[in-house]
Chain A
Amino acid sequence: MKPAPFGYADPTSLDEALTLLTEDGAKVLAGGQSLLPLLSMRLASPATLVDINKVPGLDTVAVSGDGVRVGALVRHAQLLHHPEAARVQPLLARATANVAHPAIRNRGTTVGSIAHADPSGEMTSVLALTGGSVTVATPEGSSAVDWADFFVGPLETSVHGPAVVTDAFFPALPPRSGTAFEEVSRRKGDYAVCGAGVTVTLDDDSRVVSARAAYISVGLVPEVHDLTEAVHGRTVDQADWAAAGDLARTLVDPDGDLHASADYRRLLVGVLTERTLARAGAEAAGRTA
């Protein structure tokens, strides 16, 4: 289990990185927590690794009223322990707390896990749920790509050719809203068997106007499911969160694997939806009150 030979470059500017990435078989290395195991198992053998860790300006978490912009070199641990970011978009800390174990979070990057597009990754679904986007830099320039246009399939994005995902933008939690995130995993810190992130938004009368969910390890790409119809117009106390869970079960199309059958994942989608919506609803009500 040793990596096959590759070339290595650690450019100090984005332009240089993009130039290096024009070579065939070049791949970006950021945190490396998903890539290095693939290299050691020789399941991936890029010709060149372009290490972007020395590219300046990519290591910041920029928080504004609109949302949180997370640079490509921001580690999960940074986001987990970022109270300001958590205030604007609580899902960031809540989800990153579920990413593996501390030593992995110290090194792994949030944007890297999004660019890796693993449907078992927490942050892909959070990006989707929050309606976020990524900034993709190419030799032709930078552009924002909406999450829905970014994820194409498992471990596959719409970005091809020389490109660096320089940041991910997570819009702020809307007013009168609450969120929750929960996973079921075989062992603590494992990839989730199933996870759910939700947001609930209330109107001025504290009635539900939006309930949306995105799941982890369910489906090939992140999807956001609108569950509002099951609870619309109800107060948080009256809302039948179980009905929303039932609705969610009908909307998802999970696969089975070693650790969970498709049916079991569907069960968990319902359970986790009900649990998280109830918590998110209560949080929204607390913020509205």
Chain B
Amino acid sequence: MTTKLFGEPVRRREDLRLITGRGRYTDDIGHGALAAAFVRSPYAHARILDIDVDAALDVEGVVAVYTYEDLYGPMAEPLPVLIPHPQLTAPRTGYPLARDVVQHVGEAVVMVVATDRYVAEDVCDRIAVSYEELPVVVGVDAAREAVHSVHSDVPDNVAARHHQETGDVEAALAASAHTLSFTQYIERSACMPMEGKGVHAVWNHDDSSLRVHTSTQASTSVRAAIAAKLQLSLEKVEVVAPDVGGGFGVKIVHPWPEELLVPMAAMALGQPVHWAEDRREHFISSAHEREQRQEITVGYDDEGRVTALDVRGWHDNGAYTPYGIIVPIVTATQLVGPYAIPVYRVRIDSVYTNTVIVTPYRGAGRPQGCYAMERTMDRIAQDLGLDRAEVRRRNLIQPDQFPYDHHLTFQDGRPVIYDSGNYEGLLDKLVALVGWDRAEERRAEAAARGKQLGIGMAMYVEGTGPGPYEGGHVQVLGSGKVLVSTGLTSQGQGHETAFAQIVASELGVPIEDIEVVTGDTRRFGYAVGTFASRAAVMSGNAIALAARGVRAKALRIAADVLEADVDDLEIDEGVVQVKGTPGASIPLRTVAVLSNPLRYAFDEAARQATQFAGPGDDSKPPVAVGDAPGLEHVDYYSPIRSTFASGAHAAVVEIDPTTWEIDVVDYAVVHDCGNIVNPMIVEGQVHGGVAQGVGGALYERMAYDADGQLQNASFMDFLMPYASEVPDVVIDHQETPSPLNPLGLKGAGEAGVIPGTACIASAIEDAVGRRIAAMPISPTELYDLVRNPDAERVPAATTGVPA
């Protein structure tokens, strides 16, 4: 059938508007609105002594100035802790505008509303805030030493102590033939979408309703937050995520202070108010991620099989914990990857620092966990003189062990039970794809050119598609148009296309007739959001179920009209027909008209439908009990637990031993996200993830100084890769369907980024023969490492075929 588009590389339906300048991002909406700008703290930790706005009020064009004193009711209370957890014993959140104390550079202190953004910034410049500086805590080590405290009532700086264990790790380590221990670090990067955040709020005085456009990954939850904080009834608030210029996690946090303050101002002023976050604001007041210190002890046998793993970690959560401890939990539970670890204990302290908050960035704690586990595998191989691929192979969970229960509790509170997988298959494919066994040959060839070549690999398992639910609505109109909506949002993942493919396949309609809307609370009110590689799994399945509901109803109506058995009907190209009986058919659009007993002949479709309409049964109501008018269906998908995607990456690096420049010359990806809706989109996700992985391994870091000033808050100095820094990527797929959901999907959004740091660290270590225990690494740091006589040397010949 021509409409079976599931699995095809269908070109994206969102592209035409985006390549012609007709996309609508938040900052494109509402010309002439008042503009908001913020006075933000220049200090990392300080007490606010005074805010003098007198000079600012003289600026022509100033409309309003708000400080904490102007907030009332729920707005004057701390921002919510979105995801509480019993182990998060000292949660702290800020206020929409700082009250008394600021905890990081960039925290909003004053909101200014003016006739345009230029004027608003002029006003900000004239506002004098006096501060008393307080001692500053920067970095996990300073936080755990706790000489100073971020929050005065949290003297040890510990927000949470996350702890899980699957057995007696001390005993298992004691009984192990070998053990080794090491400490390593990973630093901060950030999502850094090309579009910053933005909020546009319009208050409709006539019906006391609020419409907010915001660049978010969770419009339904922003809506609920606004309603609660501004004391509005939910139905009086509409929130729309229009085109969103990338998210990668930072836009899942909600409500951002600006998402409350801008609507508040719009209501108070009775005029539309607009805020477009600029790049500097994004650096110092959005969110970062990745910084951890990891102390790892592993026990293993003579064959390199892990017998016990003990991980002690410290996670820098920044100044506040609005998103709970999701990131350290994900690190803790995803760390074990594709391996069968008999006894595992993980303890991660989530600690406060006077820096920007830490919330999920694509991967959300998994890159750190992968870095811990995979570098452990490398060290075992080095210690035993074994091939790194072989050590991994010996520890893999076997295909017949699924479902595999790790006896851990995942971020969604559900058990970490892997649904399906074939990890050995991944490893085999990777070894072939990257030419692992030819590494020594290549090393010699590179050496002849004066380059030091190294190869590294890393494997991962990624919990994707966590619940609790998503919903889908599918409606066939009398025009034949099929409206599809789901509440979760889109930031470039091609949902309009992928979801349309699912509906086209499930319903049997041409994709051209399908219109998909996401992230608009006017269309769908219940949703969780786009994060944790969950959109295809959750909304994809929900929409499939909704489409199946529509299909069932369509067949029921058509069977009646065509006087056929439902089982003898099929839908193809938007026409319901009796299988094998040409001519015995009815267009789906006509079925849609028939589905509504009220059919004024407004259009040709309704007129045509009359020929099918029977006399009706006078003994029954026009709409049967339990039925509803219209050819539409809403359904929800709610999984018992997450699906687990998996993959393996390998990197080949060449290092110039004169300048210590690091060049990733090959990057190989084997990827398993179950059934694939659109391979073109999935590959695009992998490409993008790998670029962020390479960025995080070699280029990007948030460089705070001891005073908590971010030293590189610009694209000039925060080194997001250009095309010149990203290697070509070769990809191989494996498809192990999930048994947990109707479409057999697993998530694909984050996979590309997860193993980057681990496999590039491994490759560099392999190239230079020095231990790499802190990432990212730059040429200047590599130079320091190789000339440091105390740097740990790494035994050679743990790559591929021994030299």
Contacts and interface: CB of A to CB of B under 8 A. Distances in A.
Interface of A: 1-5, 37, 41-42, 184, 186-191, 193, 258-261, 263-264, 267-268, 271
Contact of A4 (B122, B703, B712): B122
A268 B122 contact: no
Contacts of A263: 783-784
A187 B122 contact: no
Contacts of A184: 659, 661, 779
Contact of A41 (B280, B703, B780): B280
A189 B725 CA distance: 11
A187 B659 contact: no
A191 B717 CA distance: 10
Given A4-B122, A5-B122, A187-B724, A258 B712 contact: yes
Interface string B708-727: 00011010110101101100
A217 to B, nearest CB: 12
A189 B388 CA distance: 37
Contacts of B660: 264, 267
A5 B126 CA distance: 13
B780 A260 contact: yes
Interface in B469-486: none
A267 B121 contact: no
A1 B659 contact: no
Given A258-B717, A267-B783, A1 B724 contact: no
Given A184-B659, A184-B661, A188-B724, A1 B780 contact: no
Interface string B755-787: 000000000000000000000001110011000
Given A3-B118, A260-B780, A267-B783, 15 more contacts: A2-B121, A37-B716, A41-B714, A186-B699, A186-B778, A187-B725, A188-B724, A188-B725, A193-B779, A258-B703, A259-B717, A259-B780, A261-B784, A264-B784, A271-B658
Nearest to A1: B278
A261 B787 CA distance: 13
18 contacts: A37-B716, A41-B714, A184-B659, A186-B719, A186-B778, A187-B719, A187-B724, A190-B716, A193-B780, A259-B717, A259-B778, A261-B780, A261-B784, A263-B784, A264-B783, A264-B784, A268-B659, A271-B659
A187 B121 contact: no
Interface string B185-214: 000000000000000000000000000000
Nearest to A3: B118
B724 A42 contact: no
B178 interface: no
A1 B38 CA distance: 11
Nearest to A2: B118
B724 A4 contact: no
A261 B703 CA distance: 14
Contacts of B721: 187
Nearest to B280: A1
Contacts of B722: 187-189
A259 B712 CA distance: 10
A76 B797 CA distance: 49
Contact of B125 (A1, A4, A267, A268): A4
A189 B716 CA distance: 10
Contact of B121 (A42, A190, A193, A258): A42
B117 interface: yes
Nearest to A245: B658
A42 B126 CA distance: 13
Nearest to A275: B658
A42 B783 contact: no
A275 B117 CA distance: 50
B279 interface: yes
Contacts of A42: 121, 125
Q: Interface centre among A3, A190, A258, A261, by most B CB within 10 Å? A: A258
A60 B703 CA distance: 43
Interface in B634-691: 658-661
Interface string B104-138: 00000000000001100110010000000000000
Contacts of A261: 780, 783-784
Which 8 pairs show the lowest CB-CB distances between chains A and B? A188-B724, A264-B780, A1-B278, A2-B118, A260-B780, A271-B658, A264-B783, A2-B121
A188 B722 CA distance: 8
Contacts of B659: 184, 267-268, 271
Nearest to B59: A5
Contacts of A260: 779-780
A268 B661 CA distance: 11
B488 to A, nearest CB: 31
A268 to B, nearest CB: 6
A5 B118 CA distance: 8
B127 to A, nearest CB: 14
Contacts of A2: 117-118, 121
A260 B661 CA distance: 12
Contacts of B122: 4-5
Contacts of A37: 716
A41 B280 CA distance: 8
Nearest to A186: B719
Given A187-B724, A188-B725, A1 B279 contact: yes
A267 to B, nearest CB: 6
Q: Interface centre among A3, A37, A186, by most B CB within 10 Å? A: A186
A4 B125 CA distance: 9
A1 B281 CA distance: 9
A257 B606 CA distance: 73
B40 to A, nearest CB: 12
A170 to B, nearest CB: 27
A268 B783 CA distance: 11
Contacts of B279: 1
A4 B278 CA distance: 15
A263 B784 CA distance: 9
A67 B239 CA distance: 64
A271 B656 CA distance: 11
A136 B117 CA distance: 38
A1 B658 CA distance: 40
B773 to A, nearest CB: 19
Nearest to B712: A258
Contacts of B117: 2
A267 B783 CA distance: 9
B197 to A, nearest CB: 14
A267 B122 CA distance: 45
B780 A187 contact: no
A221 B711 CA distance: 23
Nearest to B713: A41
Contacts of A264: 660, 779-780, 783-784
Contacts of B714: 41
Contacts of A188: 722, 724-725
Interface string B265-308: 00000000000001110000000000000000000000000000
Contacts of B699: 186-187
A92 B724 CA distance: 24
Nearest to A264: B780
Given A2-B118, A258-B711, A267-B783, A189 B778 contact: no
A182 B503 CA distance: 56
